[in-house]
Chains A and B, each alone.
Chain A
Amino acid sequence: MALKTEELVLNMGPQHPSTHGVLRLEVQLEGELVTKVTPHLGYLHRCFEKHAEAMTYPQVIPYTDRMDYLASMYNNFGYVIGVEKMLGIQVPERVEYIRIIMGELQRIASHMVALGTYGLDIGAFTPFLYLFRDREKILTLFEITCGARLLYNYMWVGGLSHDLHPDFERLTREFISYFRPNIDELNNLLTYNKIFVERTANIGVLPKETAINYGITGPNLRASGLKYDLRRNDPYSIYDRFDFEIPVGEGLVGTVGDCWDRFYVRVLEMEQSLKIVEQALNQLPEGDINEALPKRVKPPKGSIYQRVENPKGELGYFIISDGTVNPFRVKVRAPSFVNLAILNELSKGHLVADIIAILGSLDIVLGEIDR
C-alpha cells in the first residue's frame, strides 16, 4: 500500500532570525522538499512614495536614506543626480569625486553586512564579528565627514552637506591598506571553508536568461555570468574615468550562478571598490563644493528615469515633475524588490534549510522592498 502523503505549509517570519528583517515566507513542502515559496511583503511599508509627493525635492533626500539603510549614500546619489539632470545642473569636479568615494565606501560597507549575515545564516558566527569590526572603520570615516553613522543625508541636489574632513584622506588610505589583507582573511575563514562550500555550492542555480527575464540586477545577475554593470554599461557621474574590473561568477566550486558565486562576486567587488576609492583619492581636485547649489529646486515639467548601480543592483528613480517645488510622483525601482521575486523559482526542489541559503545570497533589505 502506498504511503499517504499530504502537503505541509510552513510559515517563516515575520519574526525569524534568517529572513533579514520582517519578511514572511509561506513555504509549501512535499516531505522535506520545497514545492512553492510565497513571500508576503509589506511589514515595513513606510509610504515613501506618498511622502515624496508631500515634500519638496531636497526634503525627500532623508527619506531615500531610509529605504536601503545599508546603502544610504548610494540612495542619495541616485536621487540627486536624477534631480540634477532635470534641473540641468553640472556639479563641480570635487563633488563628483567625493560622491564616488562615498558611494564606493558604502558599497564595501553594504557588502560587509551582506557577507557577514550570510555567514551567520549558514552557521558561521566569527566572520560576522570580523566584518562588523571592519565596517565600524568605514562608519567612522562617514561620521567624521557628516556626523552620522547610518543615515547621512549627505548628498544634496547640486552639492554636498559637508566638505571632507582634513584627516579624511589619510584615514581612508589607512583603511584601504588595513582592509586589503582582511579580504584574504575572510576568504580563508569563510569563502573556502568546507562546510560553507557544501552548504552553498550548486544550491539555487540561477541561469542567465531567467535572471534577465526576471529583471535581476547587481551582483546576483553578475554571478550568473553576465558582465553587466551600470557603472560601465550606462555610465553616470564620472565612472568612465576609473579603471576597474567587473567580477562575474565562474562557478569555481560548483555551477555558475549558485549561491557560492553570488557570495564570491561580492567579495571580489569589495576589492574593486577599494581600487576605485584609491584612484579617486589620487585624482581628487580642490574646489568649492557648494558652488552649484541651486537657490530653489524647482525642475521644469517632465520626467526622468535615473538608474544607478546600488550595492544590491539597479536602483532606479522615476521622477515626474509638474513644475512645482514638490515632485508629482517618485516611483522607486528597488533592486531588492525585484531580486526577491526570483525566490520561488530558485527554491523549488531544494530542502527547507536551503531556502535560508538562497535568501541570504540574494542580499535583500526589507526597507527597500517595502519602502
Chain B
Amino acid sequence: MLEIKNLHVKLEEEDKVILKGVNLTVETGKVHAIMGPNGSGKSTLSYVLSGRDGYEVTDGSALLEGEELLEMEPEERAAAGLFLAFQYPVEIPGVGNMTFLRTALNAQRKARGQDELSAGEFLKVVREKAKTLKIDADMLKRPVNVGFSGGEKKRNEILQMAMLEPKMCILDETDSGLDVDAMRLVADGVNALRDAGRSFLVITHYQRLLDHIKPDVVHIMADGRIIQTGGPELALEVEQNGYADILKAHGLTEAV
C-alpha cells in the first residue's frame, strides 16, 4: 500500500534536516504504529506524506499503491486515497461542517471520475456515520471545528475519514488531549473502519492508544529514522521502560 524509501526531508526556510532516510512499508490491510520521543520527526513524516508546504524532500520516494505521492498536489493525494487525521484539526469559521464534508467528498469523487453525491444521498450517509461516532446533528451544522472540544475535533476527523473512505489513513497523535472515554470513542471509530483493503499508520507518543487500536507492526522513530521495528510487544516495552534504552542501543540520547 505505502512504500517509503530512503526519505530525506529538510525544512524549506531553515537549514534543518528532519528526516534522515526513512524506510517503511505498510502492507494492505495492516495497521502500523510509529512511536518515538518528541522531535523524532513523526509529525513531519505525516505532513510530508500529505503534502504540506514548508518541507523540502532532498532524497527518497513515497509510493501509494505504486504511485509517487511526493509529486502530487495535496488534493491529488487525497483523491488517490490518502488521509491524514490532523493532530490539531483546523477551524474554518463560517463553513458548515456538512458543507465542508460534502465539498470534500464530491471533489474527490469528481477527481476519480465518479458521480457527485446528491444532497439527499449525502445526508443519509453522513447521519448514519455520525451516529456511530456520537456526533449529533448540531455538531454537523456548526462551522468546521469552531468551538469544538478536543474530543469533538478528533471525532470529527474520524467522521471525515469514515465519509471519505480512504485506502491509507495516517493518524497523527490522535490520542493527544483526549480523556479515556473520548479515546475509546475515537478508537472504536477507527476499528470500525479496519478492513482488508485499508491500511493505517498510527503515530503516537504513548502506548495507550495502541491498547485500543491494536497494531500489527510497531516502529520506533528517533532522530529522523526508524531505528527499530517489531510486533505489538515493542510498544509495551516502551510503555514500561521508556525510550531511553532503545535510544542508547542506537547511540542516541533522549534529549533531542
Partners in one complex: no
Question: Which residues on A are within 8 Å of B, measured CB to CB?
Answer: none
